Structure 1
């Protein structure tokens, strides 16, 4: 969870002046249908994973909720299977983010974190002993992710363990934008993270990535953030320090987990800014930078950032991601969008009233589309898989809406349209698939967003979002296909509560229909 107020300054006049919105190459034909040109020889980035986080609320669900409920939630998130009619049973996430707690749960009310559900246990006790029975609920979902074959498991930390922090708390209380980690505890923190990785390796649960720093730019001492969750700021040199220490420990312990940096709180911090944790692509991957991590063998050429607060307008959204993509390409770096939910008010799109579930799902799909096609993201991860809230309106923070009992030891859950919106990408755009370029067009000319993805044997996946209020005919103009497509499987989500990635299969024809206010995935084989 992140700041719930839009307190950030405008990103810059250049972003506000940007007017080009990436969607698909479209052309109005005499019969008013839209033609989408897809050249299979023109490709973009290779997808590494599409996933979500199970922070905070995993503990109560996984530890206490009845087996049939938590098993059903796991199936919705991780299953790649379909029912007898071909309808997906889940969204087949290919990444799962596991929160390594700091020990605020053991502190109880003295932790300063008001909501007990957002306090996290720590595997390491202040006396130096490890208890691997801690975070039992989190571990339930981690094991389920593994059992369902989720390809990439990611461990992340919002705060070092409380015994290593300057103030003995799991969040920063001083407004100085520096780390809460004690100056003499960098080695201890790195050894703690390595110990966690090593333990789970021994359990057959391998973390492909460890993320030691989260949203280093935020002032965690702000009144409406303080006591909200675990968290701390980090300066770039402090990030380098902890990454360098961790790289050394991973080598010493012969662990092959990669280090993910830097989980920037907004995307523009990755390539611009004037603070102590900005311009992070240049600082961490610049050849002549004193903070370059390029020589650290556990740090891949990957930078991670969060898409919060950069989607207020279509033009700003595209400009931010396009500039990020250009900078990442210049420095030879892959970009991961590693955390997003609709924290800012951009999802309202000018409306003063409640936004319906399909409104939120369409906005989410628009952000995913832009991150992938404008930002060239090689990975995309949602925050948070489940949280308490309505499944019908303003579903901005979660994929699954929880209605828990006060003690959080039981409750009910409802699937939102957001789950299926993400599923249109996660279930079908699998690791190793490559994006097929489909061009660009001004946003004012079309509410249609199309991305295309090529897999093994030239299998083609097309995700199409119709944000408009009318049904739209689309002609698929495929060029340089090396096979003749015979079948067209369609998966549809719209405002109808019973239509959630509803499947149908037909003989392939180039003409398809995009119903109003809907998301469709087409699989050509």
Structure 2
């Protein structure tokens, strides 16, 4: 499983051993696993251990499975390790739980525990630094717009709401703790639950770019040492209908540009029904993979995302067909201590981007000569292009139609390009980033129906 996610190696037959992820997110747990059934989180697999013991000491043997994959990511030279938190440790929360039980949209963190929470996070970062597992980024709040309010026994996971004022308080404390401990980890925030909360809506946790990142924002972050001008948000629930998909992302890009911040899409999977695009019932693996690629394309080309991250690689106990969320579908045994897994087309669809669009590359503006509107393009052929310099050019092309399509790239301002190779993901068995032979670029490039194709030019 780690090889499939992280490897950049090529097998002897030219196929890829993995999708070469360049980022891996590690959840710092709140301690609901230690609480057992009294945690109130109904699914024991959604409870998470905490490194901090009730007596204030630390147990670094906790979260063993999480740590195993973190080390594997490091072994495979994954460029960015990101630590994120859903809830502060339960000993710091107002109700002693890893989620809210009151719908007041206020943080579950006790008012006098902000510094303790920040010190805890700094201690975790410092420990892993000492283990040569450096977190490039630390995300102290997650989806602050959701109230995460449930009665005990009904909670689905750890979580806490945060107002913009509370986010400012928490991030300021974390910045100070990182500085005090001479740590270099950067802070990633605010992980908005929907993209439109970054620029609009009218709640205590809305207009987050203007409030947190603008020079005249009410809770401006400008003087914090560890906070880059990056705003993070999640693409959930803004994918239903092509007009909505496009307009939300255009508004976000315009607002981010106005206030000089870079946007990261830091969490998405097909949680709602937008991916069905008006159809009823289940959709095929390839339908899901194509829709995943479509959202990635629009986040990159319309919202101008500088990073893109998926939730989640896998999750136990789900029917094999329900693969819209995951890269690998788990089939656990009776006691959930072993089992099997199957690879979904989502893995390879993400790989069409992650394996070829690498950190440091820049996206190129592309134009087309077919006269289609952006809404029409979203049901036709979608194109994104990236460069690592004048001698490196990559295009990812989604053919959303049922017909074979042809494209003829008109490449300018690059050294003469003579050849290309394609890597195709389609519904066909074996079309999992399937490589083509090196081909002379002397005409149109053919795209299979309902496929995602990465084109590497030489």
TM-score of the pair, normalised by structure 2: 0.96
Q: 2:182 aligns with which of 233, 236, 254?
A: 254
User: In structure 2, what is the Cα distance between the partners aligned to 1:435 and 1:389?
Assistant: 38
Deviations 1:431-486 (A, max 9, x none): 011111113741336610010111144311010001100111111111222x1223
Match of 1:461 among 394, 401, 412: 394
Match of 2:416 among 484, 502, 511: 484
- What are the within-5 Å matches in structure 2 for residues 105-254 of structure 1? 105-222=33-150, 226-254=154-182
- Identify the residue that residue 308 of structure 1 maps to in structure 2: 236
Q: Secondary structure at the match of 2:408?
A: strand
**1:85–1:503: 8 Å Cα contact kept in structure 2?**
no
How far apart, CA to CA, are the structure 2 residues paired with 1:424 and 1:225? 41
The partner residue of 1:513 within 432, 441, 446 is 446
Structure 1 position 376 matched with structure 2 position 304: yes
1:495 paired residue among 415, 427, 436: 427
Q: Is contact 2:329–2:341 with CA below 8 Å preserved after alignment?
A: yes
Structure 2 residues not aligned, in runs of 5+: none
Q: CA deviation at 1:223?
A: 6.6
How far 1:226 sits from its partner (Å)?
A: 4.5
Please list every run of at least 4 consecutive aligned residues from structure 1 whose deviation after the TM superposition is greater than 6 angstroms: 389-392
Shift of 1:407: 2.1
In structure 1, what is the Cα distance between the partners aligned to 2:151 and 2:233? 24
Which protein has greater RCO, CA pairs closer than 8 Å, 6+ apart? 1
Number of aligned residue pairs = 452
3-state DSSP of counterpart to 2:239: coil
Gaps spanning 5+ residues in structure 1: where? 1-72
- Give per-residue Cα distances to partners, 1:269-316, cap 9 Å, x unaligned: 000111000000000111122310011010000000000000100110
Structure 2: how far apart are the matches of 1:247 and 1:393?
A: 44
Counterpart of 1:504 in structure 2 is 436
Matches within 5 A, 1:52-67: none
Bigger mean CA offset, 496-505 vs 354-363 = 496-505
* TM-score for both structures, normalised by structure 1: 0.84
SS of aligned partner of 2:438: strand
User: In structure 1, how many angstroms separate the alpha carbons of the residues matched to 2:25 and 2:194?
Assistant: 19
SS at match of 2:126: helix
Is 1:352 aligned with 2:284? no
CA–CA distance in 1 between the matches of 2:393 and 2:12?
A: 23
Name whichever of 463-472 and 439-448 sits farther off.
Answer: 439-448
Report the alpha carbon displacement of residue 497 of structure 1 after superposing the two structures with TM.
Answer: 2.7
Q: Show the counterpart of 1:327.
A: 255
Q: Aligned-pair RMSD on alpha carbons?
A: 1.5
Q: Find the counterpart in structure 2 of residue 447 from structure 1.
A: 380
C-alpha change, 1:393 and 1:466, in structure 2 (3 Å) is farther
Verify the 8 A CA contact 1:172 1:226 in the aligned structure 2: no
SS of the residue corresponding to residue 184 of structure 1 reads: helix
